[in-house]
Amino acid sequence: MSNNLLPSNSTILNLQDLVGSEIRSQATNHVGKVIDLIARLAVEGYPPTTGMLVLYDRHQIFIPMKLVTGIESVTGAERRGLTVINERDLANFDPFKRRTGEVLLKRDILGRKLIYLGEHTKPRLIKAAEIDIANIEGSWRVVGIEARKHRRLFRRHIDQEGDHVGFVDWSHLEPFLAHVPTSRLRVSYRKLAKVHPSELADLVESASPEEGQEIIAAVGEDRELEADVFEELDDEHQLELVARRTDAQVASLLATMAPDDAVDLLSEIEQERRQPILKLMPFSQQMKVRSLLGYNAETAGGLMNPAVISIGDGQTAKNAIERIRRGDEPYETACTLYVVSEDGTLTGSFNIVELLRADPDRPVSDIAHADPPHVTTNSDLPDIATIMADYNLTAVPVVDANFTLVGQVTVDDLLEQLVPENWKRRSELL
């Protein structure tokens, strides 16, 4: 991995080699033992270490990092000693007390999972087997972790290319901090917003319940992103997260989800909660969900999304483009447009590319393919899959017994039903 920010000649120190080492007062030569390092995990850049937690005379004291002048070898031993410039002896340092924004590296980060958001690779969870710090322009900073334990020298230099086995640069990491009582930071929404919802769902499913909740809380700053992630989660994790929420919170979530996905989730929630949650949803979304609940889940009626773009047969291409612009349908449902008569009967369909290539004043009835391939609300999975495969469709319209357009089944919803369980994504720790 390339370390774009870390100077190539930086000296790397390992946290576990520092913990347990001796710290001496230059003035009195009193000796204490390093228990932990304290850092402020900044949003940008390498987090600075602010001090050391030191055990001296059975008391835990705080020694500011700015007083540590260097790391010296202890003659005849593998341990290292830390020299402190100070006119007082160690007994006069203040007792340790967590301050807002501070994190104990050994206690709070080491051995725990972090989110790896590397470039050109799928996000995943990795465990911090070691934490690396380096002196950058006179300040000791957290520069990365070791994803795997292996024997190494106490001091080490990054090679000219900036790579060495097991090292993961901190700029690619996002720690879980909800368990830290003094930390103001949580998993960053800004970083997670760049990740695809399916990959965020993978992370949630790989994480512990507490870690998964922290990821969901972060993406919850964007209700649409949160809904997209929920749609990608398996039933077990959906229900686990729903169990932590009130009926009103669940209703708000369902209202943001695609109606077909909202129905799938609602159907899994315990019976006594369904009606109260439904009643708390906005009326329009509530009606869409109620209509879908009447269909078998493994038919086109149960799979379809009622969010379609339909155009009256008297409209023009220009009218259709304007309809797309002012609509709020998800992009995956807006790629195919349907032409309907005044009573809602399906008469034709065309895709967005055909629309953009057409003369703006051309009637949509001239652009559309008449009598398009379709399925009924009672069509089963083999029927749907066969129609979509035969006609190379990314979405197929669904009609009722009167040939009224009532929704569409998109290829992603079909694949979700057809992909074998053992093909489902499985994230692994390094």
Model confidence at 90: pLDDT above 60: yes
Domain segments of the chain as ranges: 11-174, 189-296, 303-417
Band (156; pLDDT cuts 50, 70, 90): very low
Residue 99 has phi, psi (to 5 degrees) of -110, 155
Given this chain, do its domains 189-296 and 303-417 carry the same CATH topology? no
Domain 189-296 architecture: Alpha Horseshoe (1.25)
The alpha helices in 269-307, defined as continuous H runs, are 271-280, 283-293, 300-303
Mean pLDDT calculated for residue range 394-414: 94
Q: What is the pTM of this model?
A: 0.76
Model confidence at 165: pLDDT above 60: no
Residue 100 has phi, psi (to 5 degrees) of -55, 130
Choose among 117, 130, 106: nearest CA to 171: 117
203-237 pLDDT per residue, tens = 999 999 999 999 999 999 899 999 999 999 998 99
Band (100; pLDDT cuts 50, 70, 90): confident
Mean pLDDT calculated for residue range 116-140: 88
Contact 203, 215 (CB under 8 A): yes
Q: Rank 88-102, 165-179, 244-258, 330-344 by mean pLDDT and report only the highest.
A: 244-258
Burial of residue 272 (CB within 10 Å: 0-12, 13-18, 19+) is: exposed
**CATH fold label, 303-417:** CBS-domain (3.10.580)
Model confidence at 119: pLDDT above 90: no
Model confidence at 254: pLDDT above 80: yes
Residue 318 has phi, psi (to 5 degrees) of -60, -45
**Average pLDDT over the chain, rounded to an integer:** 85
Q: How many helices (H) and strands (E) does the chain have?
A: 16, 22
